[in-house]
Amino acid sequence: MGKGFTVVVGQHVKSSVKCVVANVYSPCALNAKKTLWEELSNVKAASQESIWCCCGDFNAVRSRSERKGVRGRNDQAREIFGFNSFIEYMSLLDLPLVGKNYTWFRPDGTAKSRIDRGLVMEEWLLKWPMCKQYVLRREVSNHCALVIKSVEKDWGPKPFRSIEAWFLERGFNIMVKDKWKSFSVQGNKIVKFKKKMKLLKSDLKVWNREVFGNLHTTKRRIL
């Protein structure tokens, strides 16, 4: 633990990957931010782990466009330079942002900024390449909650595929009917249908090899 950050080393349950998560709550003063950046950089340099995620309220932006309606910041240019230098030195990458462009809002709506973010090392993205940071609705704070997650679309089971040549083969339809009648499965009609389709798929693979052989090899020979 340091002033403004907590570092946790743990194991991701589903993948058993060992990783590091640094939760940041940065002070407002630029000198205090610099101290936090330096201390956190030293912690990472001494770490043996390569899969890192730094997330939280950094109280700093990477460009002027990430702050709107905030005036009187004479140190903004130095803050931007220092924060980007810290990110580069740590070899961190800014995850894609989903939901909103800003994460902090003044209650009266006159100012907004993106001072909360999730930064990861390249090794993190090699493990979870679909990882993004999602900005949620504000509930009890001026800050929006951030959720870092890897979303991989599950389109369900693979479709049942067939080859047109099968239906031209003599005896194919009779073989399918006989196989279908021979399957003995339990459950309601939908469950039975699903189980029979799975069994039929396996038998068709065997039948295809015996009758047609390897279609890819055959195709290459013909060409």
Sheet of 131-135: strands edge to edge? 97-98, 131-135, 146-150
Bridging pattern class, strands 5-11 and 18-25 = antiparallel
- Domain assignment of residue 13, yes or no: yes
**Global confidence as pTM:** 0.65
Same domain for 108 and 210: no
What pLDDT was estimated at residue 159?
A: 64
Identify the domain containing residue 130 by its residue range. 5-150
Contact 58, 28 (CB under 8 A): no
Bridging pattern class, strands 97-98 and 131-135 = parallel
Would you state the structure tokens that stand for residue 65, as one six-digit string?
């466009």
Would you state the structure tokens that stand for residue 39, as one six-digit string?
């201390």
What pLDDT was estimated at residue 213?
A: 67
Contacts of 133 by beta carbon, 8 Å cutoff, 6+ apart: 55, 95, 96, 97, 98, 117, 118, 146, 147, 148
Rounded to whole angstroms, the Cα distance separating 90 from 42 reads: 10
Q: What is the pLDDT of residues 85-101, one digit of tens each?
A: 999 999 999 999 998 89
Alpha helices in 100-171 (DSSP H): 122-127, 164-168
What pLDDT was estimated at residue 72?
A: 60
Same domain for 128 and 18: yes
Same domain for 180 and 144: no
Contact 80, 62 (CB under 8 A): yes
Same domain for 181 and 145: no
User: Domain tally for the chain?
Assistant: 2
Residue ranges of the chain with pLDDT lower than 70? 72-73, 152-161, 213-223
Same domain for 105 and 206: no
Domain boundary among 150, 175, 191: 150
